Amino acid sequence: MKQSEKWMRGLPYVGNKSQKAQQIIDALPAGGRFVDVFGGGGSISLTAANSGKWGEVIYNDRRKTVVNLLKALIEDKPHFDLMKYVYMDRETFYKWRDNMPDSLERTLVLTIWSFSNNLHDYLWGKKIEKEKLQLTRALFWGNTGTKLDGLYSYSKNETSIAGKYSMFHKWRLEKMNIRSGIDNDQLANILRINRIEQLQQLQQLQQLNSIEYSTLDYRLLNIRKDDIVYCDPPYLGTFADYGGFDNDSFQRWLANCPARQIYISEYTKLPHTEVVFSFEKKRAFTTSGKYREELLLKYVKE
């Protein structure tokens, strides 16, 4: 993906399809309206809107603050100073999680700084938190008391996250032959800053007029016969099942959905489906020690 197109990754969100979104959109037929039933972080809807294959894109997810946060970033209303969120320690994270009411800002904090973007657990364990945040403090404030603080004077004239991120890599290349004091754990946090940078790109978009935002339970969506429907539900046999997703109810909904073109992402071939596309095997072991293959399925009406 080009640097200028990172906005299409949407929000960093559990189960986000950002790495496969373009392949999925390319495999789906064009039409009048595209319905992203379980929209999550929005990467599928954003890629669909950018493709021009559909006149209208419905981005739906039942978590209202997630949908409204993506909308707010795209429309820049309200405006978020994302520079405020590049550093987040454990204590502050849990204050947001446990003591603040549900809001767009709280969702932003929990999305960026949670483990696997699950909106609940802090990103790192207590023993490694300090070292992982050290590089960020050096880059943005220069107050670590280590030689990493040289980063601050190198990048202090940059006012955007993207600018500071770019200067960090330039500084690192110049220090290749000198011990920089940066380890892989600290580099992991710079990747977190990179995710905030992609949100900053969303703020710089003009409003995507082809996207309609929806926060309904999927069973309440008004689906038309000629819609192209895409579903990315919690996968069978994954931790996402703990959220109480009822697969039997989903199967009944599929059978009664009026749309003729329904596509589903899954690890498992579901009843009444055919495989449209098989992605590269996912880089995560199953309990059996094998890699899982992700499928794009088409629902076949009887």
208 within a domain of the structure (yes/no): no
The verdict on 21 and 69 lying in the same domain is yes
277, 298 contact by CB (below 8 A): no
Based on the fold, state whether residues 43 and 95 are members of the same structural domain. no
Give the pLDDT confidence of 33-85 residue by residue, as tens digits.
999 999 999 999 999 999 999 999 999 999 999 999 999 999 999 999 999 99
Domain residues for the domain of 131 are: 86-203
- C-alpha span between 148 and 138 (Å, rounded): 6
Which whole number is the average pLDDT over 156-185? 72
- What's the pLDDT tens digit per position in 118-145? 899 998 888 888 888 888 888 899 998 9
Lowest mean pLDDT among 16-20, 94-98, 238-242: 238-242
| Cβ neighbours of residue 1 closer than 8 Å, sequence gap 6 or more | 8, 9, 22
Question: Which of 3, 39, 72, 85 is CA-nearest to residue 265?
Answer: 39
* β-strand pairing of 31-36 with 211-214: unpaired
Amino acid at 162: A
- Give pLDDT, residue 273: 95
What are the backbone dihedrals phi and psi of residue 35, each rounded to the nearest 5 degrees, phi first?
Answer: -115, 115
Residues 69 and 136 reside in one and the same domain: no
In the chain, the amino acid numbered 257 is C
pLDDT at 296: 95
Q: Are residues 182 and 260 in the same domain?
A: no
Number of domains the chain contains: 2
pLDDT of residue 126: 87
Tokens of 159: 């006012």
Q: Mean pLDDT of all residues in the chain?
A: 85
- 150 domain residue, yes or no: yes
Q: What is the pTM of this model?
A: 0.86
Q: Which residues of 71-97 are buried (b: 16+ CB within 10 A; e: fewer)?
A: bbbbbeeeebebeebbbbebeebeebb
